[in-house]
Amino acid sequence: MKVLHVVGSRSGFFRISQVFRALRAAGAERQVIVYSGHREDLVPHDMFLDELGLPSPDHVLGVSTGSSTIRTGRSLIALESIVLRESPDWIFAVGDVDSALAAALVARKNGIPLAHLEAGLRHGHGVEEAEINRVLTDQLSDALYVAEPETRDHLVGEGIDPDRIHFVGNTAADTALRLRSEASSLDLPSSMGLEEGTYIVALLTQTDSFPGVVSMEDFLSALDGVAFEAGRPTVLVVDAPAAASVKREHLEDLLEPITVVHAPSYVELLALVDGAGLVVTNACEVLDSATVLGVPCIAIGDFVLGRTGSLEPGRHLSADELAHLPDLAIRTLSESSTPRIPERWDGNSAPRIAQITMAHRLAAVA
């Protein structure tokens, strides 16, 4: 069996990592990775992908610029030639990026079964680009893999056959659990003088693809308030786009009360998250990693709408509510209860997907 994975963002690699491994273990003879962005997005791509246990993408499309319509169209053209040449038995699309919708259209028009990871999420912004991608990709998918049982209800309510929907758990959580021991061996928090469970980790992904976009200035101002009022060490993880934003907007003064960590590897980030007392982020893969490790989280921005199963009640702030972050952080840190681990976030989501995928293939052959 040959599987073609279409990935449109760095976050997508976290979600296919364990699926790739599980499909290989289940007998998939060949797996092809197509990345719709630019190769420099993955720099240092060897370290990033090596940590995830993934090979470099077989095809890099370089179509991540322009409007959503342009990106979708360019992805369609590039993907169809690859699909016709590779002739896969399955196409896997990840999330709500434009390349996921392009993969769905190419799969349907060429009669190839499509699997959708992270299916069923709905933000409620019907005219927003990512929401359109979600709805249409789900409608065109043959196997819809959902991370939370609540998302199944969205799909059934939209008329999708329940037999196509599979509640498997969260594949990004699988990745976090697999790499937890490796992250722990780094002893990174201790080397930074941080006591386990006492510090705060914050990360803001700079993107305009979410509704309710959070500005870097507002985020850092709120984070300064957290550092002062909570009296806890606060660690800000800064990737290249975030660092550029700080420099462009002259926000360096807002970093003074915060410890800044520049571009850690995923395993290093996981080590910081696992030892934290609180994580504040708008990055899905970081939120999912913290959740499965039992670390309290505050989700920032409207991207989390629809993720009701994994988010603790009252732990979400929209872009215009950031002034409340210090109070919410203090309240969250003072709570002694251990966060609930969502159902089936047990490290076995990817094997479930592999089993279903192989069963579909056997049924088709029969």
Residue 340 lies in a domain: no
Q: What is the average per-residue pLDDT within 38-65?
A: 84
Residues 138 and 185 both lie in one domain: no
CB atoms within 10 A of CB 300: 29
Residues 156 and 264 both lie in one domain: no
Cα distance between residue 317 and residue 303, in whole Å: 11
User: Where does the pLDDT of residue 305 fall: very low under 50, low under 70, confident under 90, or very high at 90 and above?
Assistant: low
Instruction: State if pTM tops 0.85.
Output: yes
- For residue 44, say if its preceding peptide bond is cis, omega within 30 degrees of 0: yes
Domain that holds residue 31: 2-169+345-365
Residues 94 and 226 both lie in one domain: no
Residues 181 and 328 both lie in one domain: yes
pLDDT given at position 11: 87
Q: What is the pLDDT of residues 329-360, one digit of tens each?
A: 999 999 877 788 999 999 999 999 999 999 98
Place of tokens 């279903």: 356
**Helix, strand, coil percent values for the chain (each to nearest 5):** 50, 15, 35
Q: What is the pLDDT of residues 214-260, one digit of tens each?
A: 889 999 999 999 999 999 999 999 988 888 899 999 999 999 999 99
**Beta strand ranges found along 126-277 (DSSP E):** 143-146, 165-167, 200-203, 234-238, 259-262
Angle at CA of residue 187, ends 184 and 189, nearest 5° = 110
How many structural domains are present in the chain? 2
Q: What is the pLDDT of residues 96-141, one digit of tens each?
A: 999 999 999 999 999 999 999 999 988 766 568 888 999 999 999 9
The CATH number assigned to the domain holding 330 equals: 3.40.50.2000
Residues 61 and 89 both lie in one domain: yes
Residues 220 and 277 both lie in one domain: yes
Bridge-partner residues for 34, per DSSP? 6, 59
Q: What is the pLDDT of residues 261-280, one digit of tens each?
A: 998 999 999 999 999 999 99
Residues 195 and 325 both lie in one domain: yes
Nearest to 232 by CA among 261, 260, 197, 203: 197
Phi-psi domain of 62 (left: phi exceeds 0; alpha: psi -120 through 50; beta: other): left
Contact between residue 353 and residue 5 where contact means Cβ atoms under 8 Å apart: no
